[in-house]
Amino acid sequence: MTTKHKQVVDPTVTFWGAARTVTGSMHQLDAGGRTMLLDCGLFQGHREESRRRNQEFPFRPKDIDAVLLSHAHIDHSGNLPNLVRQGFAGPVYCTPATRALAAVMLGDAAKIQEEDAAYLNRKRQKGDPKVEPLYDGRDVYRTLHQLEAVPYDTPTAVGKGVELTFVDAGHLLGSAMIGLRLDGPSGERRLTVTGDLGRRGLPILRDPAAVPPADLLISESTYGGQTHEPVDETAERLGRVVRETVARGGKLLIPAFSVGRTQTVVYFLHQLVKAGRLPDIPIYVDSPLAARATEVFRAHPECFNDETLRLLQADPDLFGERRIRYVENVNDSIALNGRSESCVIVAASGMCEAGRILHHLKHNIEDPRNTVLIVGFQAPNTLGRRLVERRPEVRILGRTFALKAEVVVLNGLSSHADHAELLRDLGPLAGTARHVRLVHGEPERAEALAAALRTTGFADVVIPDRGDHVTA
Ligand SMILES: [Zn+2]
């Protein structure tokens, strides 16, 4: 370890991921003679490029002293086990709920990495080198021992002259903005990293807290220039789609990410049922990961908003355990396709590229009575995107199917702030933040937010490229 020989410089951030894109969040912070990472996410894109980008770090993992983790989503946490595998031995600071969620998410990610490597090895030509998974279950186990929980709003020294405070980001259970006070040769500097910034009015979670004041502000920009449908209208429409589908005797399929989005959908469905506004039909959540994540949600009421706490006091059945059936076993999942009555099936994965949703789509999209409800962003070149575009035919698991089911898109369940919400939350820092760096956004989205911030009094608003750095 070379820490004691490091030159002490004013706090400097170097951008290694989520620069002009939305995945692979990872920034390097040099401050107080220490080197820290702000998030360590998986880059997700084309297979070859992703493998290379995730495999090779642009620094020596054993030179990193600590990681500050904003939340458990894989594009922010998913490369931690690889960092540990390659020699990182320091603490990973995160909130208690993030530590618990990361345990289920990284375990699942390791399984996917191992399956992916096994698949590539089966396709390997004679003489090709064996493909190793990026990391495996043992690396995840070691990583989990390095996670150190720091509750919200609790200033904590994480190095000489480095004080960390997590404040609620309102984006996912346990999600936090990272507020830092950093000593440097030119005096104290404040750095705020929004991580993924949530929205007001989302169910279960509290609204985002005030963005901590900062000399250097690093903000996400996912939905710069865009507007989301209000959350309550979206819940109304969800109810309407269920009723219409049931009225024609169909099934409703909802592809959804297992952690975050699934719990939001389930919460709304359960509330609608309790209010007598949905017919009494079976609701299945077909994802073992979602079942485990929901357990973590239940175990962390310290993250809930007041309304959810009130509901919980009146009725502990917050996620409808008594009514909603969580399908763990593959055979039970397959058996769902043999049932003819109306039902709702929420299944992994979000963009319909893998997971149990594929089997349900295969059996149900040729029947016009059924509905596929899309509740999240669908990247180009995914089956999810082709469904959104309502292509007359789609290929699923190597076969062509006619798309006859209705496809409905609900955009209001996003857990990211939209343009107006970003401006409102960042606004109080205008005039005091001397540098603003926008990350975690496609260039067009980040540019739209940058332009608006400049007109509202922010100076030095820049969208960094990979490898760029800024000194606070
Ligand atoms: Zn996120």
Give me ligand 1 centre to Cα 102, in Å: 12
- In the chain, the largest separation of any two C-alpha atoms, in whole Å, equals 72
Indicate the SS3 state at residue 177: strand
Give me ligand 1 centre to Cα 275, in Å: 31
Report the first-to-last Cα separation within the chain, whole angstroms: 25
Peptide bond into 349 cis (omega under 30): yes
Give me ligand 1 centre to Cα 171, in Å: 7
Question: Concatenated DSSP letters for 243-266?
Answer: HHHHHTT--EEEE--TTTHHHHHH
Give me ligand 1 centre to Cα 396, in Å: 28
Give me ligand 1 centre to Cα 253, in Å: 24
Give me ligand 1 centre to Cα 127, in Å: 40
Give me ligand 1 centre to Cα 77, in Å: 10
Residue whose structure tokens are 């003679």: 33
φ and ψ of 153, to 5 deg = 60, 35
Distance CA 190, CA 460 (A): 16
Give me ligand 1 centre to Cα 196, in Å: 5
Nearest to 33 by CA among 158, 160, 156: 160
CB 226 within 8 A of CB 345: no
Predicted local confidence at residue 210, as pLDDT: 98
Predicted local confidence at residue 1, as pLDDT: 44
Question: For residue 30, how many other CB atoms are within 10 A of its CB?
Answer: 22
Give me ligand 1 centre to Cα 72, in Å: 7
CB burial readout 318-351, b (16+ within 10 A) else e:
bbbeeebbbbeeeeebeebeeeeebbbbbbbbbb
Please tell me the number of Cα atoms within 13 Å of 266 on its side-chain side. Answer: 32
Give me ligand 1 centre to Cα 169, in Å: 10
Nearest to 82 by CA among 104, 49, 114, 122: 114
Q: What is the CA radius of gyration of the chain?
A: 23
Give me ligand 1 centre to Cα 392, in Å: 33
Give me ligand 1 centre to Cα 255, in Å: 18
Please tell me the number of Cα atoms within 13 Å of 377 on its side-chain side. Answer: 10
Give me ligand 1 centre to Cα 98, in Å: 11
CB 1 within 8 A of CB 88: no
For CA atoms 35, 37, 38, 44, the dihedral sign is positive
Beta strands (DSSP E) in 185-323 are 187-193, 216-220, 252-255, 283-286
Give me ligand 1 centre to Cα 175, in Å: 8
How far CA 341 is from CA of 250, 269, 337, in Å, comes to 8, 18, 10
Distance CA 176, CA 63 (A): 25
Query: Which tokens is 242 given?
Result: 């269920």
Beta strands (DSSP E) in 307-412 are 324-326, 344-347, 371-374, 393-396, 399-402, 406-409
Give me ligand 1 centre to Cα 252, in Å: 26
Give me ligand 1 centre to Cα 197, in Å: 8
Give me ligand 1 centre to Cα 97, in Å: 14
Predicted local confidence at residue 5, as pLDDT: 56
Question: For residue 396, how many other CB atoms are within 10 A of its CB?
Answer: 17
This model's pTM is above 0.75 = yes
Give me ligand 1 centre to Cα 348, in Å: 17
One-letter amino acid identity for 351?
M
Give me ligand 1 centre to Cα 459, in Å: 27
Q: Kindly report, residue by residue over 342-355, the tens digit of the pLDDT.
A: 999 999 877 787 78
Give me ligand 1 centre to Cα 123, in Å: 33
Residues with CB under 5 A from ligand 1 (ion): 73, 196
One-letter amino acid identity for 335?
A
Give me ligand 1 centre to Cα 142, in Å: 23
Question: For residue 187, how many other CB atoms are within 10 A of its CB?
Answer: 9
Give me ligand 1 centre to Cα 71, in Å: 7
Give me ligand 1 centre to Cα 73, in Å: 5
How far CA 351 is from CA of 42, 47, 244, 257, 347, in Å, comes to 17, 16, 24, 8, 11
Q: Per-10-residue mean pLDDT for the chain, 472 residues long?
A: 61 94 93 95 83 94 98 96 98 98 95 86 88 95 98 96 97 98 94 97 95 98 94 92 96 93 92 89 93 93 94 83 86 89 90 85 96 88 91 93 97 93 98 97 96 97 97 94
CB 347 within 8 A of CB 372: no
